[in-house]
Structure formats: C-alpha cells, structure tokens
Structure 1
Amino acid sequence: MDPRHSAQDVVSCHLCEAHVPPYFCDICQINLCKTCAGEHLLDESQVVHRVLPITQRRSTPNYPKCSKHVTKHCELHCEQCDIPICVHCVSSGEHLGHRAVDILENFERLKEKLRNDLQELEESIYPKYQEIASNIPVQIAELNQNAKKLKSEISKRGEDWHKEIDTIINKMQSDVNEVESKQLTVLNELRDEINDTMSDITKNIADLKKILDSNDVYRNSEYKSNIAKFKTQSTTSKRNVSLPIFTFQMINTDELFKKFGSLLAPSKMESIIPAEISALDRPLLDVPKIITTIDTRSTTIRLQYVACLNDEAIWTKWDFNSIDLYDRNGKLLRSIQTKSGYTPVDIAVTKSGSLVYTDVFRHTVNIERRSQIEDLIRISGKPLSICSTSSEDLLVMVKDWTNKTKVVRYSGSTIKQSIQFDNKNQPLYSSGEIQNICENKNLDICVADWGGCAVVVVNLDGNFRFRYNCFTSTTNKPFKPYGIVTDSQSCILVGDSRVSFCIQILDKDGQFIRNIDCGLLHPMGLCVDSRDNLFVAEDRTGKIKKIQYYT
C-alpha cells in the first residue's frame, strides 16, 4: 500500500481481509477485525500483543526484536555499542559498564535529528539548489554570449594580423616591381644600343664585300678597320640584371601563438557540485596557512595591488608604469605599459576578464582590449581605486576638485550613482587618497578608508550600514586598512598594513570573526580566487602569498 495514497485505499483486515476492521495491533503493525483480534491475542509466536482501536494505531512504539534473544524486544539502547539491546543482554553481562538508556529516549533524539535534517533540507539546502538550477540557463546564455565575444575578439585579432601581413606583402611586391621596372629600362636601352651596333656591323660587312670585289686600290687604302671598336662594344654592352632574393625564416608556431595572443585556461572544475553549494557554511581553518609564495620580478619596486584574472593567473600593479600578469608558478606571462607612462593608482578585472586601471595623471579609467589600451571613462577629479561589480558596472573612488571623496558607479562611461554622504549629510569617507573599494556578494559597497582608519559599508542604494573601527590589543592604535576583498561567504577581508600586519575577517554585518596572522610583512593588495584562496601582495618583499583560510 502506497502511504502517500493510503486515504484512497480500502482498509481491510490483514488476516481475513474483512473491510473496515475496528482494531489494530500496535506491536505487529496489522489491521484486525473483531474475530481475528481475539485469535491474534492468543497467538503465542509473539510474546506480547497490544490490540487497540484502529483510530489509535501507531501510538505505541514498535520495539525492535533482539537479534540475540529472539523472544525479547529491545527496550534499551547501548550508547557505547550504539545498538538496541534487551534486558537479557544487560543481565548477561555483555554490556557490563556500558551506559544503557531507554530506547524511546534515543528514539526521540533521533527523531529530533531527522526533523532538523528535514527542516534544513526543505528550508535551506533545497531552495539553494533551486536557485542555482534556475540560474544555470542564465549562465548558459552568458557563456554563449561571452564565447561569441571571445571568438569575435580572436577574429578581430586575425583580421588585424591579415591587414599587417597584406601590408607587408604589398610593400615587398611593390619593391620587386620597382626593381623590375628599373632593370627592364636598362635592358630596353641595351637592346636599342645592340640593335644600332648590329646595324653598323651589317653595313660594315656589306662595305667590306664591295671593296673585296673591286680592284680599286684607293678604296682599299682608305679602309679603316672597325673590328676593335665592335669587339670593345661587345664586351662593354653586356649588362648583368637580377632581382632581389627573397629570404624567409621558417614559421615557428609557438612564437606565432605567443605574438598572436593566448587563451589562459579557466580554473579546473574540482567537483560537479556548484561552488555555491560546496561552499555553504564552510568552517574556517584553526590555523590559516600559506600554501604558495609567488616571487615576482623585484624587491626594489613596491608591490601594491593584485587582481585575480582566474584561478591560474594574477595581475599585479607596482609603484611603476607597468602592470604584469603572472601565472601561479611566478612565471611572467605579460607586461603592459600604461597609456600615460605613469603609475596606475589601482587595477581590477571585469566579469568578462578585461583589465581596467585608474590613471590619476590623465583623469581616466582605462581598459585593455586586444592588447590595446583604450580610454573607457574620463573623470572629473582624481580617480583612485576601482572594482568591477557582479552587474559589470564599475565602482570608482573619486576625489573631486574640493578634496571630497565619493563612490561613483559607472555603466560604461555613464554615471549611474554617486555616494558621498550619510543620512545626516555627513561625509562617509575621509579626504585621503588611499581609499580601496570592493563589492560584497550581498551587493554592499565596502571601502577601506586608510585615512579614516575604518571600513565603511553602504548598501546597494548607497545607504549607510556600518563603520568598522578596530584598535589592536597590543598597541591600542587604530588599524590602517589598505587592501580589501570579499569572499563567497560574504565575509569582508581587510589588511592592516601598518600596525598588526594581519588580515581581519569580518562578517557581512561588520562583526569581527578572526585574524589571519601568517607572519605577513606590510600586506597591501588583496584578492580571492573562485575557491576562496586569498592572495596578499607584500609591499616590501615583492612577494605574493597565497593563503588558505577555509577547510
């Protein structure tokens, strides 16, 4: 009988199949008619029966039979052995010294756990799977769209190369045409000269024949030989003409790939379970640990910011006019120069994988597309830090001409939002120029205000949520927050670059959770990859530390 449809089935006696039986044995779990109920009570194969009106069925616990004493039911539970036992098991001494509890107490404890599991499955875990499942079509559409964009960029790169190659081919062919034309002129002039000489020789031959045929002594004595002249002309009239020799190098496919561009591999999928599910309620490590140290190119130039391109590569910004891309082994993949030739203030990676940076000297936000640097936004004021949002907007910290600092949200080059004051019309941010910004998973906007010694958080609408000020226990001095980033759990990670050299972890409401203290030296820029590995740029050492802080 299907329990989900039991209300639709006809209830009958299990022994004689009489319809609508009035009784139920709560021990044997069977329906009984009036006649069969009496007989069932006399059945000695079961030591005890409990026959009740059918309306009270399943009110008595169904005690399990003992596996060692088949005529007994287990009314106790051995906590050490974690098995049900009967009174004979206890008296036999087999569980001597073990703690035995009423099996109903253990039963209720298990029922409570089942209820908790059911509640969590229904109210928390399953809805999250539903949310992720509903988002997969959106991700598929985005994947298709981004793949089209990527292929379009590759095609455009190919078109650029074809244009350059066509230009080279046309130039070389033009050079060949020019040489050919010059040499052809020389040969045509030589041909005319030879033809004139051959005409003279023909005339000279005819004259010689006439003289030889005559007996005119005067004509013979007047004859002057032209043989020497014709011999000289036959020697000097020769022209060596030739075309340039075309030389080329064998095509090196690897070098072509390097110059054409490269596709950086996306992070490897470690599980078919989405990150949102596998990361639910992830516990923190008791002791965070450095799992990789990336040695970059210099310890003399200050390393300030890092931005993850993906799980395999990371952009770095120095106190210098270049931005470098390293792989996870510390190999330099690319290095680009800023358009102005000056140091960028901050760097970020957009959702589509493009590098953006702020240039305080040109008052611009720039973007790298197809290995070219383009102006994306022109700022009225000084553009400071920058981050890319989940909606592909850009959040830019801007210091205006009155030395007031604000957050400006751009969609493309269009201003969508400006955040500067709280609900009491007081400035949210200090007037300092070290203001680093990021977006949390709940769409809050988080700013590490170095000059204000605080982390300032507003919601999506720009309404003030909280200000986090922390004093270190050893010095009682306010920390100096520099790098800031958020992870998959909506935790806020902020680095103290001057006092404790720790990374502080806050929850999304600004409550302190713990420190990450791995012996860092002057931590500056922070970023996390898709697995919540934390990358920390050390200002003085030029090293990037990769830290695991979740289990």
Structure 2
Amino acid sequence: MASEQHKGHNFVDVTENYKTMKDNIKKDTEGLENHISPTYEEIELDIETQLANLDGGYKKLTTTMSKQGEQWHREIDIVINKMKTEINEIKVKHRDILKKHLNEIKQTQSLIKQTIQAIRIIEKSTEVSSTIEYSSKVREFSKLPPKVKVTMPTFIPKPIDREKLYILFGEISPLSTATEDNVLSLNQPNTSVRELLDEPKLVTTIQTGYKNLCSVTCLNEDRIWTSGLTNDIKCFNIKCSLLQAIKTKSEESPNDITVNSDGELLYCDGTDGTVNIVKNGQTKMLITLPEEWAPNQLCVTSTGDLLVTMFSVDKTQSKAVRYSGSTEKQTVQFDDNGQPLYSGNDAVKYITENRNRDICVADWVAGVEVVVNQDGKLRWRYTGHPSAIKNEPFEPWGVTTDRQSHILTADGDNDCIHILDQNGQFLRYIDNCDLKGPTGLCVDNNDNLLVCEYYKSNVKKIKYLK
C-alpha cells in the first residue's frame, strides 16, 4: 500500500515538473521571439546601415580634406603673390637708386665736357685776362664718386617640416567604438562633453598664510603648489595641511609657478631673469633670458613645451616665448600688421594653452584677453562682457583652460570669473562663491577650478561642470 502511495507522489511530482518546464519553455520562446530576436535584428540592421553609409561618410572626410588642401593652395598662392609684389617694389627702389646715381654721373660728365670746351677756348685765345683768371677744375673733378653697388635681395626658402605641416593641416580624431554603457577610445581618454552647472559650488577653501596670494598650480588631484609676495613656495593638500615649502634661490618672490608632466615644480625669477626647476629637492636653472628681458608668467603645454611671457627691462615691450627644454622655439609678439599683440610694461600677463593649442594671454593693463593659434596668428580678443551688475572695467588676471576647451579668466576688480568658449564667446560668470580679488587660476584633473584670492590669501576649489 505504501509503495503505491509513493508511486502516486512521484507521478504527481513529474507531472508538476513537466508542467513547470512547459511554462518555462513557453516563456523562453515568447522572450526570444518577441524581445531578444527583434533586438538582435535591430542591432543587425543598424550595423548594416552603418556599413552602407561607410563609404559615403569617409568620402565626406576626404572631400573636406581636399577643400582644406584647396584653401591651403590658395593661401600659398596669396603668400607667393605677396612676396612677388614685395620683390617688384624692391626692384623699383633698386632701379630708382641706380637711376639717381646715373643722373648724378651724367650731370658731372656734362660739366666736365663744358669745362674742356672752355679750357680749349682759353688755350686758343690771345686774351691776357682770361688766361690769368683761369682756375683749374682738375682737383674738383678728380674727386671721383663712390662706386655704387646695390645688393639684390635674396629669397631663402625655409626647409619643409613635413611633420609640422601634418599637424598644422588638420587633425584626425581617433577611431572610437560606442555602446550604451561605455565609450572606448583607442588613442585618448574619454573626454565626453560636460555641461556647465546652473550654479557653481564651492567645494573647499585652503588658507595659505600668505599676505598676498598670486599663483596656484595643481600637482595632482590632492596637492597644489602656491606662491605669493614672499620667497616661499608652499605645497598644500586639499585638506589644508602644509606638506612642503621651498625658498627661491634669489630669496625674492617668484613671478609665477607651474608643474610639468613629471610633477616637477618650475618657477620664474624676475630678479636674475631665470626659469628654474626643482628636481628631487634640488633647484636648478633651466633657462636664462637675455639681459634685456625679464620673465613674467609660465605655462607647460600639452606637448611638454614651456610658454613664458616676458617684458623688456626698459618696460616698453612684451612677448610670449615657447621653449623646448632650454631651447627657444617660437616668439609671439606682433600681429600680421606688425602691431604689438600685448601692452608694453612689466604688469602681470598670465598665460595658458587651450586644448586646441591656442595660446591665451590675459593682458591686465590693456584690459583684454589675447588669443593666438599655435603659429602665433591672432584669432580673437576679448574685452569683457556687458553687464549691469559689473561696475568695474574688465581687468583680466589669472587664466586657465579645461578639457572642454573653456577659457576661464579671473576678473579681480569685479570679483568674478569669466567663462568663454574656445572662440571667445562669453558663456557665464562664476560670481556666487564669495570671491574677493581673484588672481591666479588652475584646474585639476577633474576640471575643478582652483582660484587664488589675492588679499584674503585663500585658494578656493569650485565645481562648475556637471
């Protein structure tokens, strides 16, 4: 009897298990047919569409390159025609110089011929008076004119740097594969677009102890270097603890500080015209400027070069110079019309390089932000944004850029930060974090802004991106 009951229970279990499995199979079939398979079909169709559009998309790229090439050819033709015009103008001056001297020689020759005729008349004459009154002209004409040698101009073709041409011509963004969950970039880290916060937020305030605070630079996300109007350069962590302090070799305050890609501190010293680097606790001179120039502000570029603003000792000229190590590579001083790009004085001119390799200089005295491309050609100037609540003239101090190619500039007298896009268009102010006299600026690896307050000597960390 018990055995029959056991068999009955087994039969019920198998029946229920069979029914459950049938339900599961039905659900799987519905899921595969109604959801999973259609989704795969959509993905398949999307990839097929991308393949179908592949040739057209790449053709657009090559067409754009061809148009860029045509524009370059036009610009080269313009340069050549301009040089030919200059040569023709020089040729006209050359001809005028030679004609002038030729006319002078002909005039002298004419006088010589007249003198010879007069002498022959006197020679044949029997008049006593004309012979006695004769005055020799030989000494006068013996003073021969100098030989005129006008050197023709020369054209010195510069060597073609194919690698630099490749960089100047344009940039091909790296190939990337996107999914809903992540973005894989083969050649560079993810730099997705981040929007500005509706209201920037003050994250923390670091008290530095300076009487006047001028510059700040990020060593990493947790540590910063600062400098003011003393010979101390101080390193703090984000929790406001002083970690290290070094003194300048000249025992005078540094004009500016920055950090290179190896985390080494650099500072410029206006008293002896040098840029110095601190390696393993030892300070070494990296660059010595010519005697007639003094360093102003510093910036390390994305390629490891060093940009230095400087002013002439007589305070009449200013310029920006690019160095590779201690070798001067580029000077930015004049626009295409030969006019100075920057005001001539010893006032601070903070400098930074944007992500698109534009060079940005904040010219405080002139009240203008001057931006040139990597070749030193003027792109645009920014003289402030009209505002009913900003009563003081725009006087830019510190300047920095972020990974979104925003340009951020300290406006000390209006106690705010201007945020511009890479083309100089005003986006917004940062004016809600109780800033007082903002001067030096930098951004950390997460694009948080660090602001020096000149008189309060605080560094404020501000989050302004979403």
Asked if TM exceeds 0.5, the reply is yes
Corresponding residue SS for 1:503: strand
1:530 match? 445
2:405 match? 490
- The question of whether the paired residues in 1 share the 8 Å contact of 2:407 and 2:422 is answered with yes
Corresponding residue SS for 1:343: coil
CA separation in 2, counterparts of 1:125 and 1:412? 28
Q: Identity of aligned pairs, percent? A: 44
Q: For residues 336-379 of structure 1, what are the alpha-carbon distances to aligned partners after superposition, in whole Å with 9 as ceiling and x for unaligned?
A: 00000000000011112111111000110000011011110001
CA separation in 1, counterparts of 2:206 and 2:272? 32
Q: For residues 73-121 of structure 1, what are the alpha-carbon distances to aligned partners after superposition, in whole Å with 9 as ceiling and x for unaligned?
A: xxxxxxxxxxxxxxxxxxxxxxxxxxxxxxxxxxxxxx99xx99x99xx
Match of 1:305 among 215, 218, 226: 215
Match of 2:358 among 444, 454, 457: 444
Q: What is the Cα deviation at residue 391 of structure 1?
A: 1.0
2:166 match? none
2:428 match? 514
Corresponding residue SS for 1:430: coil
Match of 1:428 among 341, 359, 367: 341
Q: What is the Cα deviation at residue 129 of structure 1?
A: 5.5
CA separation in 2, counterparts of 1:525 and 1:511? 22
Unaligned 5+ runs, structure 1: 1-110, 137-273
Structure 2 residue 446 is matched with structure 1 residue 549? no
CA separation in 1, counterparts of 2:184 and 2:320? 31
Structure 2 residue 175 is matched with structure 1 residue 127? yes
Q: Which stretch of the first structure deviates more once superposed, 445-454 or 476-485?
A: 476-485
Structure 2 residue 311 is matched with structure 1 residue 388? no
2:117 match? none
CA separation in 2, counterparts of 1:482 and 1:283? 25
Q: What is the Cα deviation at residue 134 of structure 1?
A: 4.0
Q: What is the Cα deviation at residue 133 of structure 1?
A: 4.3
CA separation in 1, counterparts of 2:425 and 2:376? 20
The TM-score with structure 1 as length reference comes to 0.51
The alpha-carbon distance between structure 1 residues 508 and 475, as it changes in their structure 2 partners (threshold 3 A), is: closer
Structure 2 residue 414 is matched with structure 1 residue 362? no
Write the letter of the residue equivalent to 1:547. Answer: I
Match of 2:198 among 286, 290, 295: 286
Q: For residues 182-204 of structure 1, what are the alpha-carbon distances to aligned partners after superposition, in whole Å with 9 as ceiling and x for unaligned?
A: xxxxxxxxxxxxxxxxxxxxxxx
Match of 2:224 among 289, 314, 317: 314
The alpha-carbon distance between structure 1 residues 132 and 336, as it changes in their structure 2 partners (threshold 3 A), is: farther
Q: What is the Cα deviation at residue 303 of structure 1?
A: 0.9
The alpha-carbon distance between structure 1 residues 408 and 447, as it changes in their structure 2 partners (threshold 3 A), is: same
Write the letter of the residue equivalent to 2:304. Answer: E
CA separation in 1, counterparts of 2:374 and 2:297? 18
Q: For residues 31-81 of structure 1, what are the alpha-carbon distances to aligned partners after superposition, in whole Å with 9 as ceiling and x for unaligned?
A: xxxxxxxxxxxxxxxxxxxxxxxxxxxxxxxxxxxxxxxxxxxxxxxxxxx
Bigger CA radius of gyration: 1
CA separation in 1, counterparts of 2:459 and 2:349? 21
The alpha-carbon distance between structure 1 residues 401 and 287, as it changes in their structure 2 partners (threshold 3 A), is: same
2:419 match? 505
Corresponding residue SS for 2:441: strand
- The question of whether the paired residues in 2 share the 8 Å contact of 1:366 and 1:377 is answered with yes
Two-structure CA RMSD over aligned residues (Å): 3.2
CA separation in 2, counterparts of 1:546 and 1:512? 22
The TM-score with structure 2 as length reference comes to 0.60
Q: What is the Cα deviation at residue 127 of structure 1?
A: 3.4
- The question of whether the paired residues in 2 share the 8 Å contact of 1:472 and 1:478 is answered with no
Q: What is the Cα deviation at residue 400 of structure 1?
A: 1.9
Aligned pairs for 1:84-95 within 5 A: none
Match of 1:407 among 294, 317, 320: 320
Aligned pairs for 1:180-191 within 5 A: none
CA separation in 1, counterparts of 2:185 and 2:261? 21
Write the letter of the residue equivalent to 1:431. Answer: G
CA separation in 2, counterparts of 1:456 and 1:465? 8
Q: For residues 156-213 of structure 1, what are the alpha-carbon distances to aligned partners after superposition, in whole Å with 9 as ceiling and x for unaligned?
A: xxxxxxxxxxxxxxxxxxxxxxxxxxxxxxxxxxxxxxxxxxxxxxxxxxxxxxxxxx
The alpha-carbon distance between structure 1 residues 436 and 132, as it changes in their structure 2 partners (threshold 3 A), is: farther
Corresponding residue SS for 1:135: coil
Structure 2 residue 284 is matched with structure 1 residue 374? yes
Q: What is the Cα deviation at residue 456 of structure 1?
A: 0.3
Q: What is the Cα deviation at residue 293 of structure 1?
A: 1.2
The alpha-carbon distance between structure 1 residues 342 and 129, as it changes in their structure 2 partners (threshold 3 A), is: farther
The alpha-carbon distance between structure 1 residues 455 and 128, as it changes in their structure 2 partners (threshold 3 A), is: farther
Q: Between Structure 1 and Structure 2, how many residues are aligned?
A: 300
CA separation in 1, counterparts of 2:237 and 2:258? 17
- The question of whether the paired residues in 1 share the 8 Å contact of 2:407 and 2:419 is answered with yes
- The question of whether the paired residues in 1 share the 8 Å contact of 2:412 and 2:437 is answered with yes
Q: What is the Cα deviation at residue 545 of structure 1?
A: 0.7
Corresponding residue SS for 2:187: helix
CA separation in 2, counterparts of 1:397 and 1:316? 19
- The question of whether the paired residues in 1 share the 8 Å contact of 2:175 and 2:185 is answered with no
- The question of whether the paired residues in 2 share the 8 Å contact of 1:472 and 1:479 is answered with no
The alpha-carbon distance between structure 1 residues 128 and 427, as it changes in their structure 2 partners (threshold 3 A), is: farther
Write the letter of the residue equivalent to 1:435. Answer: K
Q: Which stretch of the first structure deviates more once superposed, 335-344 or 511-520?
A: 511-520
- The question of whether the paired residues in 2 share the 8 Å contact of 1:493 and 1:504 is answered with yes
